[in-house]
Amino acid sequence: MSATHTITVTEEHAGLRLDKFLSEVLQEVSRARCTKLVDEGCVEPAKSASYKVKLGEVFTVTVPEVKALALTPEAIALDIVYEDEHLLIINKPPGMTVHPAPGAYTGTLVHALLAHCGDSLSGIGGVARPGIVHRIDKDTSGLLAVAKNDAAHQALSTQLKDRTLKRTYLCYAWGSLSPRDGEIDAPMGRNPRFRKQMAVVSNGKHALTYYTTLDTYIPKSSIQPIVSKIECQLDTGRTHQIRVHLAHKKCALIGDKVYGTAAGTKFNRMRSSHTVIPQETLLSLTEFPRQALHARELALIHPFSGEEMQFFAPIPADLEALEWTLTSLTNRA
């Protein structure tokens, strides 16, 4: 059912834009949603969203019933790191798609969240759906934040935009970076040759990644690292940013079938030409089934309490096995 609110402008709110006033009083409704309610004629007396409210004015706001999302909830087990009435922090396994898309119309994180949350979703933009604040790729594991209501989604999206929501990733990449620690500041956009891929392009959008080399794996009887263990922190959040930036630096992720082909081919040749590394070890590295990327840490400010929160996701089993292989290779296990 729709809900009707009658609210009076107090001295605290006098002079604010109507949409801002409504969002501050109706705390579960985002400002963007309030603007839409004004535009749709759900606020009486009728005004524009930019109208400056006056002390003592009374407005009647009708918030329509939240519409159901046209997806069937699926009872899929979730690794829930944190949950309250406003948000969820999920540790997503590799292989799970976040949103329904061609080729993945079922079994997605959204389907699982609809089943898990049930009636606790109060609606994002008027639709009962989980608000995915930021995405991670199907084959990337780790943490992502999900909003349960409009206001939480708006607040977390703002944090993402102003960079107060921090995301730190762990990855394993071919070769090594020079310098070992630093930043990759390279604009990104669509690959002009392969439109389904991203690339570093001169006319792209600003993209900045900070990185720290945590370890390098140098085989016995060799002086060159075959693989590096790297921590990356996103300043911006372009599609495939870490994958593209590391490939641009000739240090592509292990297992990256899109951006790491050249690196994988280079080291794949070592099966027949390099005797330092056991053939079975090379096989396990060059045929690792996904990009070796894990969203390990997430830091944010709770959208209602204002509490600074930090979450960690342990390294998944497949990456743990990969690291064991690498440490064994360098005789440091």
- Strands (E) across the chain are located at 3-8, 43-44, 58-63, 67-68, 80-83, 87-92, 127-128, 131-132, 141-147, 166-174, 181-185, 188-190, 198-200, 208-217, 227-234, 293-301, 308-312
Residue 229's Cβ-count burial label (10 Å; 0-12, 13-18, 19+) is buried
Token digits of residue 192 = 């002009």
Token digits of residue 140 = 């990337």
Using alpha carbons, select from 107, 144, 104, 95 the residue that is nearest to residue 291: 95
Catalytic residue among 137, 139, 256, 318: 137
Cβ atoms within 10 Å, residue 303:
22
19 a catalytic residue = no
Q: Which helix (H) or strand (E) holds 110?
A: helix 109-117
Alpha-carbon span 193 to 191, nearest angstrom: 5
Alpha-carbon span 97 to 103, nearest angstrom: 10
Catalytic residue set: 137
